[in-house]
Structure 1
Amino acid sequence: MALRSLFISLAVTGFLGYSFTIGLTDPNSLLRKIPDWLSIPLLLGCGLLYLLAAWWAFKGFNEHKAVAGLSMGFCALGLGIYALGYSMEAGKGKAAKGQYDYDFKTLDLTETAVVAHIAHEAGLSLQDAVFTEHWHLADTTKSFRICVQKGHVTALNVSNHTIHDLSFFSHLPNLGDLILKNCNLSDLSGLKSTKLDRLDISDNQVADLKTLQGCPNVRWLFASNNKLTSTEGLAQFSQLVSKDLSGNPLPE
């Protein structure tokens, strides 16, 4: 029993370790392909397997003390990770009180003017904006989505609208997440922001990432389905954690 317990605890801990590292950071990971509705049942299953492993370790302790003790250690570690993951998933979609603002009344006047210009550039108006949380920013039902926290824009999604002038995004000092999918972009040199952390420029006409030199601190870059023929521009992103360059005519 102790050996079976150790095998299960190792397997489940390995799965959770993968889920919290590669599974979350790699856009092409197997975890990303699992439907959202399966996430909580999957975590519950992991918890039950840990409890089973702990029970078997307890039952087999007298037979294999070292193995059972090691298994219990993995169970304790895994259950801690499991509890963290479950609490994060269960609380997903729930913003803390005061975490986000949901109208333009609290937004800095200068930033309101900037957002108004960006909206006009995209053929939209401020009335088209949907105020949301970061985890709903990529929702495709409305492609003009904005996150406002403590009076500042922290994230924007202006996908599926043609954008000619990127320089105005640079006037949003707290902008950390920016989604510009299918905006007919080819030159990104107008975008300059040391605060930008996550950038999605998928489904555009970008041929050279070097034009993103004004955003050196990007850690999450999504540039699938563009016209990239080289990855040389990636060297400028010293803090890059994850990238998606699929669908580009890159050399093998």
Structure 2
Amino acid sequence: MALRGFLLSLALTMILGYSLTEGLTNPNSPLKKLPEWTAIPLLGGIFILYLVAVWWTIQGFSQHKFLSIISFGFCLTGLGVYAFVFTMEMGRGKASPGQYDYDYSTLAPAEKTVLTKIAESANLSLSDATFTEHWNLDVPDRGFRICLQKGHVTALNLSGHPLSDVSLLSQLPYLGELFLKDCGLRNVSGLRSDKIDRLDLSNNQLTDVQSLTGVPNVRWLFLANNQITTLDGFEKFPQNIVKDLTGNPVVK
């Protein structure tokens, strides 16, 4: 029984470890292909299997104490991680009171002026905005989607709207997430911000990443379906943990 408990707890902990590292950071991982609704059932299944491992370990403790202690360690670690992730999943999609602003009333005047220019450059107006939370930012929209927090623009989605001047985006000092999919971009050298953490430039006409040196701290970089032919330049992004290059000549 102790051996069963050890092997099961080890396997479950390895699965959890993969899920929280490669499974989350690799856009092509099997986990990324699963529907979102499967998250809670999967976590529930893992929880039940951990309980089975604990039961087997208890049953075999008298015969294999050392192995059982190791198994208990795996189980406690796994259940702790499980509790943390489950709590996050249950709270996902629920904004705390005051976490987001849903109109322009608190937006800093300087940022509102810049945002007006950005909207105009994309043939939009401020009235075309949908105020949202970060986890709903990537929802398709006929206008554009924006996250406002404590009077500042923290995330912006202008996908599907041709942009004539990306340098204006550099004037939003709190901008951390930016979606510019299918914006007809060939060069983004005008974009300069050490705050941007997540950048989606999929479905454009970029040929390399040299023009991205203005966003050195980007961690999540999505460049699918561009015309990138070389990996040269990625070393300039030391914080990068995810880069999606699917659909580019460099990966064909």
TM-score class, shorter-chain normalisation, is over 0.9
Partner of 1:58: 58
> In the TM superposition, what is the alpha-carbon distance from 1:241 to its structure 2 partner?
1.2
Contact 2:124/2:143 (8 A) holds in 1? no
Q: 1:147-180 CA distances to partner (integer Å, 9 max, x unpaired)?
A: 1111110110000110110011000001011000
- Which aligned pairs between 1:33-72 and structure 2 lie closer than 5 A? 33-72=33-72
Which one is further off, 110-119 or 198-207? Answer: 110-119
Partner of 2:225: 225
- Which aligned pairs between 1:38-117 and structure 2 lie closer than 5 A? 38-117=38-117
The 2-side partners of 1:162 and 1:239 are apart by 29
The 1-side partners of 2:209 and 2:153 are apart by 25
Q: 1:78-132 CA distances to partner (integer Å, 9 max, x unpaired)?
A: 0000000100111110111111111100110111111111111112111111111
Partner of 1:184: 184
Runs of 4+ in 1 over 4 A off after TM superposition: none
Q: Are residues 4 and 224 of structure 1, via their aligned partners in 2, closer, same or farther at CA, if it must alter by over 3 Å?
A: same
TM-score where L is the length of structure 2:
0.97
> In the TM superposition, what is the alpha-carbon distance from 1:7 to its structure 2 partner?
1.1
> In the TM superposition, what is the alpha-carbon distance from 1:222 to its structure 2 partner?
0.5
The 2-side partners of 1:45 and 1:143 are apart by 40
Which one is further off, 208-217 or 74-83? Answer: 208-217
What SS does the aligned partner of 1:232 have?
coil
What SS does the aligned partner of 2:240 have?
coil
The 1-side partners of 2:86 and 2:20 are apart by 12
What SS does the aligned partner of 2:199 have?
strand
The amino acid that maps onto 2:190 is G
The amino acid that maps onto 2:116 is A
The 2-side partners of 1:203 and 1:180 are apart by 9
The 2-side partners of 1:138 and 1:75 are apart by 36
Contact 1:199/1:220 (8 A) holds in 2? yes
Partner of 1:147: 147
RMSD of equivalent CA atoms: 1.2
Q: 1:203-246 CA distances to partner (integer Å, 9 max, x unpaired)?
A: 00001210112111111110010011111121211211110111
Partner of 1:208: 208
What SS does the aligned partner of 2:233 have?
helix
Contact 2:245/2:251 (8 A) holds in 1? no
The amino acid that maps onto 1:95 is A
Contact 1:170/1:192 (8 A) holds in 2? yes
> In the TM superposition, what is the alpha-carbon distance from 1:251 to its structure 2 partner?
6.2
Contact 1:143/1:157 (8 A) holds in 2? no
The 2-side partners of 1:251 and 1:59 are apart by 51
The 2-side partners of 1:251 and 1:43 are apart by 34
Q: Is 1:27 the counterpart of 2:44 in the alignment?
A: no
- Which aligned pairs between 1:125-144 and structure 2 lie closer than 5 A? 125-142=125-142, 144=144
Structure 1 gaps of 5+ residues are: none
Paired residue total: 252
The 1-side partners of 2:73 and 2:197 are apart by 36
The 2-side partners of 1:141 and 1:160 are apart by 9
The 1-side partners of 2:153 and 2:120 are apart by 17
TM-score where L is the length of structure 1:
0.97
> In the TM superposition, what is the alpha-carbon distance from 1:18 to its structure 2 partner?
0.9
> In the TM superposition, what is the alpha-carbon distance from 1:53 to its structure 2 partner?
0.5
Contact 1:230/1:251 (8 A) holds in 2? no
Q: Are residues 148 and 56 of structure 1, via their aligned partners in 2, closer, same or farther at CA, if it must alter by over 3 Å?
A: same
Contact 2:24/2:32 (8 A) holds in 1? yes
Structure 2 gaps of 5+ residues are: none
